[in-house]
Amino acid sequence: MAGCQPSPPAESVSGTIETDVARVASRHGGRVEKVLAQEGDALATGQVIVELEAAELEARRERLAAQLAEAEAGPRKEEIATARAEWEAQVAQLNLARLERRRAEELFATQTAAEAERDRAVAAEQALEKSAAAARSRYDLLRAGTRPEQIAQARAQLGELDTQLREMRILAPTNCVLETLSVKVGDVLSPNQPLATLLLTNHLWVRVYVPGPWLGRVRLGEHVRLRVDAYPGVDFAGVVEQVAREAEFTPRNVQTVGERVQQVFGVKVRLENPEGRLRAGMAADVYFPNPDETPR
């Protein structure tokens, strides 16, 4: 929490407040149809920034949805009734063919019919047996309905298309500020082409560099305070989020050559900014407790 209360003595190091940046894009690309935000706008989570054209995807989705509905509903009663009638007709013809085959065999046995007539009767019976069996299979399949695997495949195809349709609407991933908008209506984007740069203003942080002897009092999760020139005498709260495991030379922008040749450790401090007074780019002094301070 920020406040104006006196703070215990502490040593400070300086850094610049930064914010996380997100570059949003569509994984599938397309033509820009609508631009619904402008540079500098404060965006809420899920707010639409850009919409891409997706007429052909909508038509394809309707077709896949209809196919899934048909698969889930299964065959109509009329189709099952027709298949049953066809099977019964084949059975009736098969019974007649069996009678004719037996009659032909009797006539052949008494030498009243030729062998060829008997063979034709036998072949006709065998053919009708296969036809009747096939008709029975079609009837049983219709009664069983659509295979679960086919329904699962149709659902997967529809889900894949829904995912692609969601990519046609570029949304703000969290509360943020639209810093740069790189497209206009009519632009054609390739997949994964960044179209906007967002500042995640809820994720402010400052990286400072501390000398090695300070590591004993810089701990992960440690609460520290900082000040900025815009609000003299006001303390803001921060939490140590990261401490580098390896030393490095002091960054080039440190003021003196003597300081630049020293080895230091980078420390990332996450800032609490509930009132929105801190902004990226502000110079900040981060105060770490002295070793003789009472631990908080």
pLDDT in tens, 160-219: 889 889 999 999 998 899 999 999 999 999 999 999 999 988 889 999 988 888 887 788
The topology (CATH level 3) of 10-20+202-289 is Elongation Factor Tu (Ef-tu); domain 3 (2.40.30)
Q: Looking at residues 269-278, what average pLDDT do you find?
A: 86
> Which region among 39-43, 266-270, 278-282 has the lowest average model confidence (pLDDT)?
278-282
What is the model's pLDDT at position 48?
95
pLDDT in tens, 96-105: 888 888 888 8
Q: Looking at residues 252-281, what average pLDDT do you find?
A: 74
Q: Looking at residues 115-137, what average pLDDT do you find?
A: 88
For residues 161 and 170, what is the distance between their CA atoms, to the nearest angstrom? 16
pLDDT in tens, 49-68: 999 998 888 888 889 898 88
pLDDT at 7 over 50: no
pTM attached to this predicted model = 0.60
Per-chain mean pLDDT for the chain: 84
What is the model's pLDDT at position 45?
93
Q: Looking at residues 2-8, what average pLDDT do you find?
A: 45
